[in-house]
Amino acid sequence: MKKNTNKFFLRYHSTTLAALSDRKQQQTMPQSAWKFVFDNVSMALLDALENVKGTNVHMGLNLIFELEGESREKAQTVSKYLAEILLNLVTFTTFAPCNSARLLDVIECGSRGNPRFRSNLFDLESSSHVLGSIRPIDQEKFRKIFDAYKNSHFQQIIMRSLSWFRKGLNEENPLDEFVSYWIALEVLRGTLRRRLRLKMKNPGEWDGVKRIFEEELNFHQFSDMEDARDALLHGFRELGTDFVQEIKDNYLVPSRKAVMFAIGEILELEEDLLMDIAAQSPRRVRLIPWQVIEGRLDGFTASNLDEIVRKPFPSIGIKSKQVLYQVDKNSKLLASVKFKYLFKGPPKLQWRIEAYEYWGDNEAGIDSASVEDIH
């Protein structure tokens, strides 16, 4: 007996600097949508925009799915899985990591009555705006990569490796980033070794991976990198600054690019396409931008820890703010942010602010920033 199925539309959001259009194009509505079909599920990829006083501000990507299912729970499971596939492929194409897909809305259309609607509400304050230079997705390249994955016999292996690749790109700690790339290579090593058997007899366990480093990257220190990996994971070396710097300077970028070239080889992507992807630097916002305020404290008398803990610790909060966005002729986002600060601390303490600065991840592509106090 055939089970009853309903049609579902589900919308997800992912925070990322990857975008379908540049900021100037994002000011024109309606916005474009890229459509795909995978396993009888229709999918659409769109820029997520929020209108702030007349300017559309990039918030990341939205993903919309159309599918039939027996229940909302099953539809969510299937669509969530496909959402992460799309986001993995976006990250691979752009080197702009995407946060995990977050379900926003579900519409359930049955044979009787009006469609049912379910929405998850998240507080999208202006502090959550994705500040940085967006990385437009090349539609032609992305289509080629999507189609190659769709037609591949190694989908499970590729997607597992891409998940670790995406995790690595999103890591703040370079050691965690390096380990994520290494795990991605471990996922691929068996497939790469089997491919190498077509060219040589009885290759070693890591020879397929090693060949990627040597032939694609001209990197011939694989054994040193492998030793560093063993020392890191098994505690063979002290985790001092010299060791951390060695991994960061010598092995981080090669391991990242090796994952990309290895996946490209298994998907049989064109060499020119892979070279274009490899030439990109990461475009990520791993740290939320923050302000740094410097100045003097007049009337601050505490001279030791005992005195400090007995009184309110001097601190600064934000009482109110005014935000204005504009997009210039070069498609760059101009942000004007004014704050009114709230000073807290012991009685009679006076503040003298001498400098304001705005800090953020140096890989977010922020050219410059300034802040202003609302007096």
| pLDDT for residue 3 is more than 60 | yes
- With contact defined as beta carbons under 8 Å apart, do 85 and 98 qualify? no
3-state secondary structure (DSSP) of residue 292: strand
Nearest to 217 by CA among 160, 171, 141, 274: 274
pLDDT tens-digit profile of 79-125?
Answer: 999 999 999 999 999 999 999 999 999 999 876 767 888 888 765 44
Half-sphere exposure of 40 (CA within 13 A, CB side): 5
Tokens representing residue 283 in the block: 């475009």
Give pLDDT, residue 128.
56
Instruction: Annotate 198-241 with DSSP letters as a single string.
Output: TTSSS--TTHHHHHIIIIIH----HHHHHHHHHHHHHT-S---H
Give pLDDT, residue 372.
62
Strand order across the 371-373 sheet = 315-327, 333-344, 371-373
Give pLDDT, residue 251.
97
Tokens representing residue 69 in the block: 């299912």
**363 vs 255 pLDDT, higher one:** 255
Strands 116-119 and 135-136: unpaired
Q: Out of 58-67, 106-115, 154-163, 219-228, pick the least confident.
A: 106-115
Give pLDDT, residue 188.
97
Q: How far is CA 142 from CA 20, 35, 137, in A?
A: 11, 12, 7
- With contact defined as beta carbons under 8 Å apart, do 258 and 274 qualify? no
**204 vs 113 pLDDT, higher one:** 204
Tokens representing residue 63 in the block: 């993903």
Residue ranges covered by each domain of the chain: 153-266, 290-373
Q: Out of 182-196, 270-284, 361-375, pick the least confident.
A: 361-375
Give pLDDT, residue 352.
80
Give pLDDT, residue 60.
93
3-state secondary structure (DSSP) of residue 41: strand
Instruction: Annotate 62-106 with DSSP letters as a single string.
Output: EEEEEEEESSHHHHHHHHHHHHHHHHHHHHHHHS---PPPEEEEE
Q: How far is CA 331 from CA 24, 94, 105, 250, 341, in A?
A: 5, 18, 30, 35, 31
pLDDT tens-digit profile of 133-172?
Answer: 899 999 999 999 999 999 999 999 999 999 999 999 999 8
Give pLDDT, residue 2.
52
Q: Out of 171-175, 250-254, 263-267, pick the least confident.
A: 171-175
- With contact defined as beta carbons under 8 Å apart, do 52 and 325 qualify? yes
Q: What is the mean pLDDT of the chain?
A: 88
